[in-house]
Amino acid sequence: MKIGILTYHRSHNYGALLQAIATRVILEKMGHNVYYVDYWPGYHKRRYAMINPRIVFSGHIHSALTYLNNLRQTYKTKCLRRKAMFLFIKNYIEPYCKPLSDDYDIIIYGSDQIWRKQPELKNYNPIYFGKNKIKTKKHVAYAASMETLPTSLKDKSYLKMLISNLDSISVREEKLKQLLNSLGFSNVKKTLDPTLLLTSQEWNALIPCSNYCGARYALFYDFQINTFSEDEINKFVKSKGLILKVIYGYAVKDESDNDICSVSADVFLNLIRNADFVFTSSFHGLAFAILYGKPFYASFLRNSERAKSLLTTLGLNDYLLQPQEKIPNNLEKINYELIFSKLEILRKDSIQFLESSCNAKLQIENTFQRK
């Protein structure tokens, strides 16, 4: 079958790109012809533009001046980062892109936080919920995620209307599953993020490893600022006889061999592969640390639910720290043989959801019940 994936496939974000690749690859392994539906609206383009005119001409002088001053300081590294991202997208994403106007047998929505309120729209984007004019026989949400769960009756009512466009639903977080259950969608499945559907060996085949013969290091993926205490990290790293490498999820003023920002997802993956220890304030940094069997600590200032859900399922809650918390130096070594066994069960369950959603008779009524 011809399957289209509707997700954040052009984001300048390591996790977004890698989850998009994983979804395509796992569906191709099932024997389908798989493409990215090349939907990339203006508000996404502006977010990753060299200069965002909406901020510059917002009318808020202080915000505009702060933004322009930051751009002046990071201009060089931002250019390099954009170049690296565009090259990665050209090689791994664009060859599989098809237009919105194409016909598809199935559209897969997700993963990533496609169901969050889009900042410029200040609302949910109906296109990511199957409320669109794409020519397809079936709409399936796979491991869809949401930044903040709705609390108002208005938002819940709107969300219920949007979700009703879908023929099959799976989400990434337990709390989102519970919310949808409360809205009357009884057959909602919790599934793994696509990056976790592939083993480390499969990732190594997709994105080749680079040889590393430098000093042993701990990697800090600094995605959310101020999650970890720098003093605590430095003290911990020194106690282990390691050096510290930091990779940022954004452009910074100065870059060096140990402070890295102008690289793409392939280098990000290699930095995790070669690390002795991982600190992360990113969900996908956490996912790949687990996939590669790395000792780690994770911490989040916001959007922690998907990480909590994964860590709870795997029995790894002790490795999730509160922001700025003191870093323990004596936790037990992670039993990755047990973790990988749990992951394999979850992986098979998630793949079964995709197989049943894609191979079931297309012209069917929704399998979930609505109140």
pLDDT digits (tens, 9 = 90+) for 154-169: 999 999 999 999 999 9
| Distance set, CA 289 to CA 7, 16, 25, 142, 196 (Å) | 23, 16, 20, 22, 11
**What tens digit of pLDDT does each residue of 313-329 get?**
999 999 999 999 999 98
What's residue 60's pLDDT?
A: 84
What is the average pLDDT score of the chain?
93
Rounded Cα–Cα distance for residues 293 and 190 (Å): 23
First to last CA, the chain: 32
Domain 204-339 fold is Rossmann fold (3.40.50)
CA 259 from chain centre, in angstroms, equals 22
169 vs 186: CA distance, rounded Å: 10
Report residue 259's pLDDT band, with 50, 70 and 90 as the boundaries: very high
Q: Where are the domains of the chain?
A: 2-49+93-197+346-359, 204-339
Q: Can you tell me the distance from the alpha carbon of 193 to that of 354, in angstroms, rounded to the nearest whole number?
A: 12
Using 50, 70 and 90 to split pLDDT, how confident is the model at 258? very high
Q: CATH topology of 2-49+93-197+346-359 equal to that of 204-339?
A: yes
Q: What mean pLDDT comes out for the span 193-197?
A: 97
Percent of the chain exceeding pLDDT 90 equals 83
Write down the pTM of the prediction: 0.93
In the sheet with 103-109, reading across from the earlier edge strand, the strands are 97-98, 33-37, 2-6, 103-109, 135-144, 168-171, 188-190
The pLDDT value recorded for residue 78 is 95
**Architecture of the CATH domain 2-49+93-197+346-359:** 3-Layer(aba) Sandwich (3.40)
Residue type for position 220: F
Burial class (CB in 10 A: 0-12, 13-18, 19+), 119: exposed
Phi first, then psi, for residue 317 (nearest 5°) are: -60, -30
Residue 89 gets which letter from DSSP? H
